[in-house]
């Protein structure tokens, strides 16, 4: 019993939900800080930092041969980043792609992918090394104790907590990443502009935010393009969040025969990857759907020289209006969501432009202080040694006598440091007396013992004195920088400007204001056409005259076929209780035997399991009452006007769990309802018993079903004459079934 009580005392009782909450928060913070978000100081995610540091450790310098990417990835994974090789290689590839990074950090050799979305070759085929700017601006001074080193995942290695980056890389290259419950999206900027802004902040830490915009004009995407909402940039940079409107650059060229062509020379940054193929597909779709009728051809003529997407137009086409349509209806104009979320002091924080610059400057000053402290300590040690060697040159004969009279090195060293002459043989008492007065430091004594005789040559002594004077000058310089904030600021500004001169480049992205594009859409002349859908869900528009000539064949080949105006919309009810609408103008015109297009391509169908129940012109739906029946026996009437909406998809009815719509129809010319269940029960009741309800309502019970039973068929009767249905190889006449009350159990035949 005593043993059980001891065990009971050691048991910690807690709520399971509290454990789950704590563990999930720990996991979320780990993803946020250790994987997904960049550090505001060096602008790098952990995987990027580890790859660059490993390349530095491997010696893959910019002026040395390339190393296999597989070697870099394997070394990084084994030493610093145990999260799988794919994430490491993906990070390496992105840092080598000049169409994704404002400043490439890795010099890739081989196939590192393309702007059109082609993936990089496998890591065993590609090679890489550091870029010069990475080596000199991101990794320099690591040997000067400028940043803290922390244990790696197994505590067998040390890795830098952050790289001593000398420019605000978080702005230079930007960043994107998805963490748990948050995401970051920072656009890249121009190196020269952000350095100018940093210098302005260092000179005046109280500089107003709007003043910084005189230096940082806006994002500078590696793909160029045009940012067209210039007036919104101050607010975006002040709040750290917002949306940039980015357009591709286009030119209109004249070609033979008086025709024109629109040439896309720069794409929006958001189109990097598979966006070019998607854009060309969208343009082709616009031409196919007759939104733009004057496109003759589209081709991608891009090469190493740059982007060139050519859209050939028909003679007499309005090129300016077509370009506006492309801006409006394709990703040639797109939005880039800005969310300047970074890790600062170990916590995620959304920062403004000024706050990011402030955090970087604090980091830069800390790096400089630690660097010059380290250099000062080394030069103070050097000064001590040099002073000892110079003093030793003045009494070199005595030192030689001490060395020759000593039995071992320690005896000679003690004499140099403490003046101990016991057991040392001297030629004269005078020499012994002078030796007893020697007081070199331990470092000086060791340097004297290590000194080669060649250093006693006159020129060597003069060089030593000159070297000592240079050491004193450097010490004075370091002490001046460390003790004078203004001097340190000037030194940092000078360094930043030298980086800007060497690595800066001209801005690629234009920043301007542009009005929303205005499309002059041609007014469609109202015309009666024929909508046709086959049993596989392929739709097309037929010419009305052609349909009349081949009416019998057309109706035999299609599940739904009816006349409709070309200005109308088609309503498509599905078993999930949704109503999808599609403009007749968006459905391509075809000949009778031509295949249509899948209705999925024109609507917002959520998945392939969403089955079509009924199709009807929206004009017909809006003008009457719609009857809906479900497999669990629910029925209702809804005014068709409720379904009229500018939204392409609306809820036609609310469904209970495991329920689905089996029948939809217009109820205006009908008077009774007939329901048939899978177990052979059927019921007929007056339509007047079905109440009119809103589209968000579930409906009322039409038939009381037994457990496991469901409605398999529903019919509206009245006005269409007598008809029969086949049930268990027998004819059933719904119109002859006795009318009963709605909600009954029904009758079994």
**Helix (H), strand (E), coil (C) string for 186-211:** ECCCCHHHHHHHHHHHHHCCCCCHHH
Strand pairing partners for 356?
Answer: none
Closest CA to 74 of 89, 61, 95, 60: 89
Collapsed DSSP state (helix, strand, coil) of residue 237? helix
Is residue 113 a contact partner of residue 99, using CB atoms and an 8 Å limit? Answer: no
78 in helix, strand or coil?
helix
| Spatial distance between the Cα atoms of 523 and 442, rounded to a whole number of angstroms | 96
State the Cα–Cα distance between residues 233 and 338, nearest whole angstrom.
Answer: 10
d(CA 412, CA 481): 40
Q: Are 675 and 704 in contact (CB under 8 A)?
A: no
Cα–Cα nearest to 135, from 433, 666, 499, 615: 499
For residues 415 and 421, the answer to whether their CB atoms sit within 8 Å is yes
Residues labelled catalytic: 125
CB of 152 closer than 8 Å to CB of 53: no
For the record, the structure tokens of 34 come out as 């250790």
Measured distance CA(114)–CA(273) in Å, rounded: 8
DSSP structure string for 422-459: TT---SSHHHHHHHHT----HHHHHHHHH--GGGGSHH
**Cα–Cα dist 167/188, whole Å:** 13
Furthest C-alpha separation in the chain: 145
Return d(Cα 90, Cα 51) in angstroms, integer. 11
Count of residues making up the chain:
749
């Amino acid at each position: 019993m005593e043993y059980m009580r001891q065990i009971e005392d050691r048991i910690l009782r807690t709520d399971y939900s509290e454990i789950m909450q704590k563990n999930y928060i720990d996991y979320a913070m780990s993803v946020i800080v250790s994987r997904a978000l960049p550090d505001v100081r060096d602008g790098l995610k952990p995987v990027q930092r580890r790859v660059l540091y490993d390349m530095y450790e491997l010696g893959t310098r910019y002026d040395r041969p390339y190393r296999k990417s597989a070697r870099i990835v394997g070394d990084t994974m084994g030493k610093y980043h145990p999260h799988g090789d794919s994430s490491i290689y993906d990070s390496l590839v992105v840092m080598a792609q000049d169409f994704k990074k404002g400043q490439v950090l890795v010099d890739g050799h081989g196939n590192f992918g393309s702007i059109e979305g082609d993936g990089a070759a496998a890591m065993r085929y590609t090679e890489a090394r550091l870029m010069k700017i990475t080596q000199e601006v991101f990794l320099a001074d690591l040997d000067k104790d400028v940043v803290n080193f922390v244990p790696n995942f197994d505590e067998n290695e040390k890795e830098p907590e952050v790289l001593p980056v000398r420019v605000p890389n978080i702005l230079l290259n930007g960043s994107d990443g998805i963490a748990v419950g948050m995401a970051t999206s920072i656009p890249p900027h121009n190196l020269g502009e952000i350095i100018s802004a940093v210098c302005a902040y260092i000179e005046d830490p109280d500089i107003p935010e709007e003043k910084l915009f005189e230096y940082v004009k806006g994002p500078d995407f590696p793909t160029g393009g045009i940012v067209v909402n210039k007036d919104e940039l101050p607010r975006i940079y002040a709040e750290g969040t917002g949306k940039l409107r980015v357009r591709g650059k286009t030119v209109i060229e004249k070609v033979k025969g008086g025709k024109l062509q629109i040439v896309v020379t720069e794409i929006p940054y958001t189109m990097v990857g598979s966006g070019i193929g998607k854009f060309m597909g969208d343009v082709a779709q616009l031409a196919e759907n007759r939104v733009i009728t004057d496109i003759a051809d589209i081709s991608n003529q891009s090469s190493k020289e740059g982007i060139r997407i050519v859209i050939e137009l028909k003679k007499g086409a309005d090129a300016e209006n077509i370009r506006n349509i492309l801006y409006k209806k394709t990703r040639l104009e797109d939005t880039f969501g800005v969310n300047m979320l970074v890790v600062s002091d170990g916590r995620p924080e959304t920062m403004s432009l000024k706050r990011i610059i402030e955090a970087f400057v604090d980091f830069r000053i800390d790096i400089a202080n630690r660097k010059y402290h380290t250099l000062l300590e080394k030069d103070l040690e050097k000064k001590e040694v040099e002073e000892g060697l110079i003093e030793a040159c003045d009494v070199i004969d005595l030192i030689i006598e001490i060395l020759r009279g000593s039995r071992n090195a320690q005896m000679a060293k003690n004499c140099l440091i403490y003046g101990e002459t016991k057991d040392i043989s001297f030629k004269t008492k005078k020499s012994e007396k002078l030796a007893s007065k020697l007081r070199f430091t331990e470092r000086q004594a060791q340097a004297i013992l290590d000194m080669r005789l060649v250093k006693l040559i006159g020129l060597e002594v003069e060089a030593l004195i000159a070297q000592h004077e240079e050491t004193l000058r450097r010490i004075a310089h370091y002490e001046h920088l460390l003790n004078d904030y203004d001097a340190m600021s000037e030194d940092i500004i000078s360094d930043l400007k030298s980086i800007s001169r060497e690595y800066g480049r001209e801005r690629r992205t234009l920043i301007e204001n542009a009005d929303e594009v205005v499309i002059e859409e041609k007014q469609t002349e109202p015309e009666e056409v024929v909508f046709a859908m086959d049993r596989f869900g392929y739709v097309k528009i037929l010419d009305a005259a052609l349909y009349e000539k081949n009416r019998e064949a057309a109706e035999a080949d299609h599940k739904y076929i009816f006349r409709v105006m070309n200005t109308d919309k088609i309503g498509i009810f599905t078993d999930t209780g949704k109503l999808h609408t599609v403009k007749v103008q968006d459905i391509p015109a075809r000949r009778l035997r031509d295949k249509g297009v899948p209705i999925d391509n024109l609507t917002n169908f959520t998945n392939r399991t969403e089955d079509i129940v009924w199709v009807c012109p929206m004009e017909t739906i809006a003008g009457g009452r719609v009857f809906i029946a479900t497999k669990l026996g629910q029925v209702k009437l809804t005014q068709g006007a409720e379904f009229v909406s500018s939204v392409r998809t609306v809820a036609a009815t609310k469904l209970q769990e495991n329920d689905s719509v089996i029948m939809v129809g217009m109820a205006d010319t009908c008077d009774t309802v007939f329901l048939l269940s899978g177990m052979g029960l059927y019921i007929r009741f007056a339509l007047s018993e079905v109440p009119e309800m809103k589209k968000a309502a579930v409906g009322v019970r039409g038939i009381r079903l037994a457990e496991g039973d469901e409605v398999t068929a529903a019919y509206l009767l009245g006005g269409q004459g007598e008809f029969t249905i086949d049930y268990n190889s027998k004819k059933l006449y719904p119109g002859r079934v006795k009318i009963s009350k709605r909600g009954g159990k029904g009758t079994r035949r």
